[in-house]
Amino acid sequence: MNPTSSPQPGAGQRLATLVLLGLSLASSSCGAHEQAAKGPASPYKHILLISMDTTRADALAVYGGTAAKTPRLDKLANTGVRFQNATTAAPSTLASHTSIMTGLHPRRHGVARNAFRVSEDNIMLAEVLGQHGFHSAGFIGSFALDQQFQFAQGFNHWDQDFDILTDGRNADQHQRTADQVTGALLDYVGNFDGSQRLFLFAHYFDVHAPYAPPEPFASDYMDEWSTSDFGHMAHQIGLHQKELIGKERQVYTMGLSRKLAETAHGNPLPGDSNLSALYAGELAFLDGQIGRLLDGLSDKGILEDCLVLLTADHGETFWEHGDFWHHGAWVYETNLHVPLIVNLPDGRGRGTVIAEPVSTTDIFPTLLDLLDIPLPEPVAGRSLMGAIDGQALAAVPIFSEATQPVERFEKQADWRNQLKSKSVRLGRWKYIRTPYLKFEELYDLQQDPGERHNLMQELNSERQAALSELRKHLKTWFESAPPRDSKFDATQSKEVNAALRALGYTGDLNDAGQQPKSGTAEESEASGD
């Protein structure tokens, strides 16, 4: 299929059509009464959903960040609604984005991690919007959301014209930069006269490793090096691991050791400041390209009627925890806390800051509620429209699950993420359970937002009560509806294999496209590290 071709309707789209048609018929007899009760239909003609891959909330100035200059993102937040404590459902790209587009956790939609095919039994946001007159177009920054993984269900147009190809060192997957994504989107909308309702999805991958911002951002933000590649990052990871456990460990495939997990916090080492500075440079570059996107849509007369929602799929741990310069293997706030900003063209909720914890699974029902579209099926998320209008949000459990290690325990459980780290947050309290390590953690995020002090060995009556409640919530959640069927697609790992062999590497990689160091896995298993 051509990168810019339109996906054909599949079983999931047909299911969505039938479900929505049934809802429409069921409500037709009382439609006039319900419309009178709800008032006029949604005033928002267009939707722009922006996803900034690998962007920690605390990297943005409006969330307390000081390193990167992000004036356009700050403006978007200050003229809209900012959710101060948004949590992603999963710290990897495909699983998280599928949760955004379905309102379901990976435990239900079935996408355990990258390179799994999205089940056509899922009802995706673009499918629902298509049944209500929207033309949907997606513009993608990385291969993780390639249409071969069936993520593009319901989209009329899917643009993934990647120009940076996997090379095993500077690019771990096919991708393109933010200026290319913005340019493709603006070129495409130039074909519309304004009469068509548009759902536009822009996915930006620049902040993802390795951090290599273009000039002048590299020079503006660099500390020691003008750029970085995976070699630099592997060196820093190795420095931290050797300091704590005396050797390097392949966290992606093997997971964290018990010692790395018990070390609840790390400290920066020489070289870390350069990586964090280049990360900030990537974000500053992305800020300008998002500004260019918003300006371009304004010039085309689209922005004035457009609901804009900006978020991220996950964050990135720097030196703070045992999964150094990484994401996916752990569920600390460095990986889970993401920006969530809703900007409405009529000024609704302008300047509102919402402190109550929310989930990225709430995006799907919130968008449909703002558009006056009924939910096609029960979802895990809830509409946040009431909070946008100033109503208090009830405290509910917020769940997340890690997606790594990718192979070591996946065949030992019914659900591939079953033995991996998972968390539940309720108000100020957060509980983390990692079955493969037989390890539990409890944090008071109000007193310890950096999760640096595990309270499991210091339980008083208040903490014990919180722990008991959180354990019950996590157990109930995990025993809920089974995951929908999803199959692994090895295309990406094969492409990485080919790229590494071309560079002189030999040997087969795992299904994540990584080459474990000889003997490392066996040694760690034998030592019980």
Task: Indicate which CATH number applies to the domain containing 54.
Answer: 3.40.720.10
Listed residue (406, 455, 415) closest to 432, CA to CA = 455
- Write out the two tokens for 370: 């703002």
Has residue 272 been placed in a domain?
A: yes
For residue 154, is it within any domain? yes
Residues 273, 386 share a domain: yes
**Domain termination site, one of 337, 368, 396:** 396
* Residue where a domain stops, chosen among 374, 396, 418: 396
- How far apart, in Å, are the Cα atoms of 92 and each of 206, 260, 300, 341? 15, 20, 34, 20
Report helix, strand or coil for 432. strand
pLDDT digits (tens, 9 = 90+) for 430-451: 999 999 999 999 999 999 999 9
- Parallel, antiparallel or unpaired: strands 398-401 and 197-204: unpaired
**Euclidean distance between the first and the last CA atom of the chain, given in angstroms as a whole number:** 46
- Flag whether 59 is in a domain: yes
Same domain? 391 vs 517: no
**Closest-CA residue to 426 (of 458, 456, 400):** 400
Question: 121 and 256: one domain?
Answer: yes
The boundaries of the domain holding residue 218 are: 11-23+46-396
| 269 in the same domain as 385 | yes
**Number of separate domains in the chain:** 2
Return d(Cα 54, Cα 281) in angstroms, integer.
14
- Do 388 and 504 belong together in one domain? no
End residue of a domain, out of 347, 367, 396: 396
Task: Evaluate whether residue 408 is within a structural domain.
Answer: no
Strands 197-204 and 46-52: parallel
Residue 332 lies in a domain: yes
Residue 381 lies in a domain: yes
Residues 6+ apart with CB under 8 A from 28: none
Query: Looking at the structure, do residues 372 and 505 belong to the same domain, yes or no?
Result: no
Question: Strand 422-426 vs strand 398-401: parallel, antiparallel, or unpaired?
Answer: antiparallel
Q: Which residue in 280, 286, 315 sits closest to 203, CA to CA?
A: 286
pLDDT by residue for the chain (529 residues), tens only, comes to 333 344 444 444 444 443 443 444 333 333 333 332 333 467 799 999 999 999 999 999 999 999 999 999 999 999 999 999 999 999 999 999 999 999 999 999 999 999 899 999 999 999 999 999 999 999 999 999 999 999 999 999 999 999 998 886 788 899 999 999 999 999 999 999 878 999 999 999 999 999 999 999 998 887 666 678 888 899 999 999 999 999 999 999 999 999 888 876 778 999 999 999 999 999 999 999 999 999 999 999 999 999 999 999 999 999 999 999 999 999 999 999 999 999 999 999 999 999 999 999 999 999 999 999 999 999 999 999 999 999 999 999 999 999 999 988 888 788 999 999 999 999 999 999 999 999 999 999 999 999 999 999 999 999 999 999 999 999 999 888 899 999 888 876 666 566 545 544 444 444 444 443 333 332 222 222 3
Note whether residue 219 is domain-resident: yes
Measured CA distances, 105 to 21, 127, 184, 403 (Å): 25, 18, 31, 12
Indicate whether 4 belongs to any domain: no
Three-state secondary structure call for residue 122 = coil
For 34-52, b/e burial (b = at least 16 CB within 10 A) is eeeeeeeeeebbbbbbbbb
Pair 365, 496 in one domain: no
Rg for the chain, CA atoms, rounded: 22
Are residues 213 and 285 in contact, defined by beta-carbon separation less than 8 angstroms?
Answer: yes
Measured in whole angstroms, the distance separating CA 199 from the mean position of its chain's CA atoms is 19
